Amino acid sequence: MCGIAAYYHQDGITRQRLHELLAAMTGLRHRGPDGEGIVLINSQSGEQWRLKTPATPTDLACDLLPEEYQEGQADLFLAHRRLSIFDLSSAGHQPMSDATGSLLTFNGEVYNFWELREQLKAKGYTFQTGTDTEVILAAFQEWGPKALESFNGMWTMIWWDQARRKLLVSNDRAGIKQLYRFGGEKEWMLASEIKAIRQVFPNQLTLHRENARFFLDQTILDFNEETLLREVKRIPAGHYAYGHPADMPVYVPYWSLPEQGRRFRSMADAAAELRDLLKDAIGLRMRADVPWGTTLSGGLDSSAIVYLAHAIDPSQAIRTFTASFPNQEGDETEFVRFIEQNLGTRAAYVNPLQEFDFEDFARHLHHQDQPVRSTSMYAQWAVMKEVGRSEVKVLMDGQGGDELFGGYHHHVYKLGRDLILKGKFGAYRRLVEEFCELKGKSPQVVKKLIQDDVKLYVKLKAGGKMPGPKENLAWNKARSLREVLRLDLQSWVMPNLLRYEDRNSMAFSIESRLPLLDYRVIEFAFQLPDEYKIRQGWQKAVLREAVPELPDKIRYRKDKKGFTTPEKDWVTQFRDQFEHFARKGLELGVGTPWGKPFEGLHTAELFRLASLGLWWEGKDQ
């Protein structure tokens, strides 16, 4: 897990630009505190120079000091900040080269590299390190871009193919790791975080006002490749580009979700298959040469990971980290303490209420690179800060369960709408009755929500318009539960959460791993019938069946809290600061949420406007 960057200029890199790029990499040191690597390449001749910087490991041979660089001698810059997880020696340093002169700088992990290493050994490859990086280089040498299809992990990677003078840029299937692009054919830059691009091009980036307006109204960012800076784009998940740096082609997909469902003999069979997949996904992510742990909220997803990890290795007292809000509504500490007693975990608790101050919130926002929609993101930040105080360097987290298995309330409503549109009124009534009985909700209220959604769907199908980007229209027009889940995973919900996860964890040099987003689990989930996801009022039904060792206190919790925080208390306590930066947000000319008067904003709306203003005010720091 690291920070990476690349830069290309058709006319060669100037000494001034090299200085700016090195400063930008210093700004990413939180992503990789264990060393820096810089390689300069002349993409026409193939010549390469490894640069010596103050953060380069002392036992690595280098060719050049920054002050010795000649104007324009290289046109391609590859850079890496290392967080050591496998083979902690300098042998794992990046950009790593192979015998052909090809180079790799990559952020993330390919968890199945041991198995790939054995395949490649059988083909005659030899290995000198214990890293996945060396295995990836060999895989590209053997299979070219097709190697991406064999990787199980999370990554953004940049591979320089020396023999063909081509560059490959890739993102993992789910977009767990992010990579951002600025520029055109003559000059461009790639970086793990937008702040690195900002540092090199501070005067060439402008606010994407339409996306800012949509964020204020709908709380959503990252719904496509665009960002809040009009000139900066996110590399799409599950895609790669491969070509000469001067002529990078359009990004093309190497993976897609299954188009068809599967037949299962029974729910029990599906649950057993899911259990096997989850155990293998978790087992792969327990691999590390450093201590690991898990976040734990006490909900179904994170608890399932802890119990399955315990089943894999009962001898280990698992380290867990939890946000605790004593005496606050939504606090889930009792469930975590129950698991601590039940499994003998080594539990750590942090109270974000005690951590919160406005200066720390500003640091959190700086690391996020874009505004955040609620204080839930700060609660996660506080947990990661607590992990950073420990010896743990690798953390497993439960992101993905809701998006794959129908865990949000809107999934029930969308399923109800689909049943009405299909004329399955008996099934619709049973769905509402069972869900409302389980959740203690009013059937009349839920029915009205669903029926209003049916009216909106009919209106949109007849040509009605929706404000905001095309993704807003697509989400509201999605007919089936499967299509809604696909959009939640790929554009509507998960990309936001993945950015929050990445920035919060990497701010404290923590590698966060997400076993529920193993691509095999994703593919399996999208082959399941709806009734295995929402059954007799229970959401994520098949996941509950897949982990029978979960105590019923956890397995059959009826409340769905999400990552709740006492947001109103924080905004009230720091009202002056929030209002100050909310007015800074107003100065950007994007208005207030839903066009309300400033004085009429409720807490969450004021928070988002302040988040926007504070982010923009501090964007060049």
Q: What is the pLDDT of residues 514-535, one digit of tens each?
A: 999 999 999 999 999 999 999 9
Short-list 532, 522, 512, 515, CA closest to 489: 522
Is the pLDDT score of 620 beyond 80? no
Return d(Cα 4, Cα 83) in angstroms, integer: 11
Return d(Cα 330, Cα 299) in angstroms, integer: 12
* Angle CA 350–351–352, to nearest 5: 105
Is the pLDDT score of 618 beyond 90? no
What is the percentage of the chain residues whose pLDDT exceeds 70?
99
Which neighbouring-strand residues pair with 393? none
* DSSP string for residues in 328-361: STT--HHHHHHHHHHH--EEEEE-HHHH--HHHH
Write the DSSP symbol of residue 97. E
Q: Are 168 and 155 in contact (CB under 8 A)?
A: no
Of the given ranges (19-33, 320-334, 576-590), which has the lowest mean pLDDT?
Answer: 320-334
Residue 328 has a pLDDT of 80
Is the pLDDT score of 561 beyond 80? no
Residue 326 has a pLDDT of 86
- Peptide bond just before 371 cis, omega within 30 deg: no
**358-368 vs 603-617: helix crossing angle, rounded to 10:** 70
Q: Which helix (H) or strand (E) holds 613?
A: helix 603-617
Confidence tier at 621 by pLDDT (50, 70, 90):
low
Q: Are 505 and 107 in contact (CB under 8 A)?
A: no
Confidence tier at 344 by pLDDT (50, 70, 90):
very high
| Section 247-258 average pLDDT | 92
Q: Are 203 and 619 in contact (CB under 8 A)?
A: no
| SS3 assignment, position 419 | helix
List the structure tokens of 461. Answer: 């199908």
* Angle CA 501–323–556, to nearest 5: 95
* Angle CA 522–526–532, to nearest 5: 110
For tokens 């300069």, what's the residue?
A: 40
| Section 295-321 average pLDDT | 97
Confidence tier at 347 by pLDDT (50, 70, 90):
very high
Give Cβ neighbours of residue 9 (< 8 Å, ≥ 6 apart). 17, 75, 186, 187
Return d(Cα 431, Cα 417) in angstroms, integer: 11
Confidence tier at 356 by pLDDT (50, 70, 90):
confident
Q: What is the pLDDT of residues 448-490, one digit of tens each?
A: 999 999 999 999 999 999 989 999 999 999 999 999 999 999 9
From the CB of residue 330, how many other CB atoms can be counted at a distance below 10 Å?
A: 12
Confidence tier at 560 by pLDDT (50, 70, 90):
low
Give Cβ neighbours of residue 286 (< 8 Å, ≥ 6 apart). 292, 309, 312, 313, 396
Short-list 176, 191, 85, 189, CA closest to 133: 85
Return d(Cα 215, Cα 222) in angstroms, integer: 10
Instruction: Give 478's Cβ-side CA count (13 Å radius).
Output: 23
Return d(Cα 201, Cα 371) in angstroms, integer: 20
